[in-house]
């Protein structure tokens, strides 16, 4: 009966929290979270039974207060709380309204009051017994984090590395909190910051750029952009591309992405930090970033007097974006206001009931370009724009766009929506690049796909139909309005170095680094982002 009462209180809290904008939890928490909570709460329950009304509620109250804090943090910061966020407590206070600060104080006062209440009502032996499983769990986090990671990976309901909040739904708040800390500690066991490396590399790049005239850089990353002309045997209408886009195919460049069909953050890591995404410290590098400064394109440019902003067409909760963007050097990061837990934004999804979840490229890029140019009339900066249209499941809104290609009964039937999307996406590229060239004629513009879209079957779908490589993506480079053709095949981690080299009129020594040296940078980029330089 005690077990059922405690579980009922948990269900009531979870329903209320989810309804009020907090974290959501589901049946997956019964794998680890609920058993752990019962081990903690049952000794207190039996110690309180007969001494207070509702002993099940008071036994669970320490957990509920922790839950309340985790939901409070998520509601105000728009991301999951991690144990290393304790070091950034001033950041939380700085963004809270006075109502939020009062609420946070009440949470802490409640926690201390509850502890005093329990000390008076139950014996110290019961408190020690109740605390024992928690102490063991926390001890393993720091003594043997790999055990925690392996255990949860193997036996939990499901582990998510893309949307971290889904771990709360499928594993519970406390298990997710511990899992993320175990992942971080596991990575820290193998990483060490080299003193002076960060300052030295950034100073080197700053010195390279010091005599170069400043101009804006527009880095446009398009979700799952597939150029169907790279397939063999696909038949497309003569007017599928405009004359401008047909001419641009002569300046088509190629880059290998670290990702296929998903994991955009891996492509972002390479495009922003100039190192291969090796997944040595977890599946997604961005998930390990703690907000400490590291050596990436935005920080390189800031050292030379540029500003750096990111504008994203989707949710900030994906891939630990807020911490990751802070580490790379973005001063401001903007997301559509419809996806913000708190705050406002100039970006809006402007969705209708039939438009689907993912904002069309031009709807996003027009807003993002207008904002950047309006706010940079007297300064120069990096305008990083990450679109989301073209994301799986490749929804094509026929109330807005008319299909131009019919691939039914052909070997390309499975990508018909993607090919129809590309027709309109090519128009978007043309319109927005032309707009930038007209309004910002001295700028550098880089348009690149994060990765190829997921095929209807396997990666071999591409190569079986003549596509060169399922990791091969197209990019376009414009310097002062002129398209630039690069020979050979690059990697996404080469592209930020191409930008720096172009800005410096080919005077960048670091830009000619080979893959091995760029791979060696990987460890220090991660180390600085995770733990900073002491």
- The pLDDT tens digits for 372-404 are 999 999 999 999 999 999 887 788 888 889 999
CA 110/CA 95 separation, integer angstroms: 22
Give the model's pLDDT for residue 353: 45
**Neighbouring C-beta atoms of residue 9, cutoff 10 Å:** 19
C-alpha angle 284/285/290, rounded to 5°? 120
- The pLDDT tens digits for 114-133 are 667 666 777 777 777 888 88
Give the model's pLDDT for residue 530: 85
- Structural contact between residues 220 and 499, judged by C-beta atoms closer than 8 angstroms: no
- The pLDDT tens digits for 402-417 are 999 999 989 999 999 9
Q: How far is CA 119 from the centre of its chain?
A: 43
- Structural contact between residues 503 and 209, judged by C-beta atoms closer than 8 angstroms: yes
Give burial (CB, 10 Å; 0-12/13-18/19+) of 398: exposed
> Cβ contacts of residue 48 below 8 Å, gap of 6+?
55, 58, 59, 121, 122
**Neighbouring C-beta atoms of residue 456, cutoff 10 Å:** 13
- Return the HEC string of 263-284: CHHHHHHHHHHCCCCCCCCCCC
Give the model's pLDDT for residue 306: 97
pLDDT band, very low/low/confident/very high, at 149 (cuts 50, 70, 90): confident
Give the model's pLDDT for residue 294: 96
CA 190/CA 523 separation, integer angstroms: 9
Query: Percent of the chain at pLDDT above 70?
Result: 90
Q: What is the mean pLDDT of residues 274-293?
A: 83
- Structural contact between residues 26 and 10, judged by C-beta atoms closer than 8 angstroms: no
Give the model's pLDDT for residue 448: 98
Q: Is the peptide bond before 393 cis (omega within 30 degrees of 0)?
A: yes
pLDDT band, very low/low/confident/very high, at 352 (cuts 50, 70, 90): very low
Mean of all residue pLDDT scores within the chain: 86
> Cβ contacts of residue 49 below 8 Å, gap of 6+?
2, 55
**Neighbouring C-beta atoms of residue 339, cutoff 10 Å:** 17
- Whether the per-residue pLDDT at 96 is higher than 70: the answer is no
Alpha helix positions (H), 258-338: 264-273, 297-302, 321-328
| 221-244 exposure pattern, b = at least 16 Cβ within 10 A, e = fewer | bbbbbbbbebbeebebeeebbeee
Higher pLDDT, 187 or 400: 400
Q: Which of 388, 271, 385, 284 is closest to 328 using CA atoms?
A: 271
Residue 518: both structure tokens together: 């760029």
Residue 308: both structure tokens together: 């750096």
> Cβ contacts of residue 1 below 8 Å, gap of 6+?
none
SS3 195: coil
Q: What is the DSSP string of 377-440?
A: SS--EEEEEE--TT-TT----TTTS------TTSTTGGGHHHHHHHHHHHHHHHHHHHHHHHHS
Q: Which of 197, 216, 200 is closest to 208 using CA atoms?
A: 200
SS3 258: coil
**Phi/psi at 275 (nearest 5 deg)?**
-135, 150
| 94-119 exposure pattern, b = at least 16 Cβ within 10 A, e = fewer | eebeeebeeebeeeeeebeeeeeebe
CA 66/CA 111 separation, integer angstroms: 8
Q: How far is CA 410 from the centre of its chain?
A: 37
CA 267/CA 287 separation, integer angstroms: 13
């Amino acid at each position: 009966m005690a077990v059922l009462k405690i579980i009922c209180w948990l269900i009531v809290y979870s329903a209320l929290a989810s309804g009020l904008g907090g974290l959501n939890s589901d049946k997956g928490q019964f794998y680890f979270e609920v058993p752990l909570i019962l081990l903690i709460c049952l000794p207190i329950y039996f110690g309180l039974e007969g001494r207070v009304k509702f002993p099940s509620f008071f036994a669970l109250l320490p957990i509920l207060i922790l839950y309340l804090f985790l939901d409070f943090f998520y509601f105000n910061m728009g991301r999951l709380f991690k144990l290393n966020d304790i070091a950034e407590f001033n950041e939380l206070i700085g963004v809270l309204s006075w109502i939020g600060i009062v609420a946070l104080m009440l949470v802490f006062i409640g926690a201390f009051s509850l502890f005093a209440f329990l000390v008076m009502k139950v014996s110290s032996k019961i408190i020690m017994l109740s605390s024992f499983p928690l102490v063991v769990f926390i001890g393993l986090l720091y003594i043997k984090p790999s055990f925690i990671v392996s255990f949860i990976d193997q036996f939990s309901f499901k582990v998510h590395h893309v949307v971290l909040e889904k771990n709360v739904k499928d594993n519970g708040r406390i298990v997710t909190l511990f899992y993320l800390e175990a992942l971080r500690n596991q990575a820290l066991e193998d990483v060490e910051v080299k003193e002076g490396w960060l300052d030295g590399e950034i100073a080197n790049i700053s010195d390279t750029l010091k005599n170069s005239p400043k101009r804006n850089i527009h880095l446009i990353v398009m979700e799952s952009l597939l150029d169907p002309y790279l397939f063999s045997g696909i038949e497309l209408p003569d007017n599928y591309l405009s004359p401008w886009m047909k001419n641009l195919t002569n300046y088509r460049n190629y880059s290998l992405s670290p990702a296929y069909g998903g994991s955009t953050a891996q492509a972002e890591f390479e495009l922003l930090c100039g190192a291969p995404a090796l997944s040595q410290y977890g599946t997604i590098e961005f998930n390990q970033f703690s907000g400490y400064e590291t050596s990436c394109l935005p920080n390189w440019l800031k050292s030379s007097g540029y500003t750096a902003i990111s504008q994203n067409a989707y949710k900030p909760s994906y891939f630990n974006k807020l911490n990751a963007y802070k580490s790379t050097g973005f001063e401001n990061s903007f997301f559509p206001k419809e996806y913000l837990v708190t705050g406002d934004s100039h970006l809006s999804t402007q969705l209708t009931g039939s438009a689907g979840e993912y904002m069309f490229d031009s709807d996003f890029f027009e807003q993002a370009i207008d904002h950047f140019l309006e706010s940079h009339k007297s300064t120069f900066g990096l305008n990083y724009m990450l679109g989301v249209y073209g994301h799986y499941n490749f929804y094509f809104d026929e109330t807005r766009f008319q299909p131009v290609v019919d691939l039914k009964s052909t070997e390309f039937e499975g990508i018909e929506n993607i090919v129809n999307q590309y027709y309109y996406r090519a128009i978007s590229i043309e319109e927005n690049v032309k707009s930038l060239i007209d309004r910002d004629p001295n700028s550098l513009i880089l348009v690149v796909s994060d990765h190829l879209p997921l095929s209807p079957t396997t990666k071999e779908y591409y190569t079986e139909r003549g596509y060169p490589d399922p990791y091969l993506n197209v990019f376009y480079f414009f310097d002062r309005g002129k398209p630039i053709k690069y020979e050979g095949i690059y990697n996404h981690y080469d592209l930020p170095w191409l930008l720096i080299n172009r800005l410096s009129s080919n005077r960048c020594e670091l830009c000619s680094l080979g893959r091995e040296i760029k791979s060696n940078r990987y460890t220090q980029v991660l180390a600085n982002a995770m733990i900073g330089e002491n």
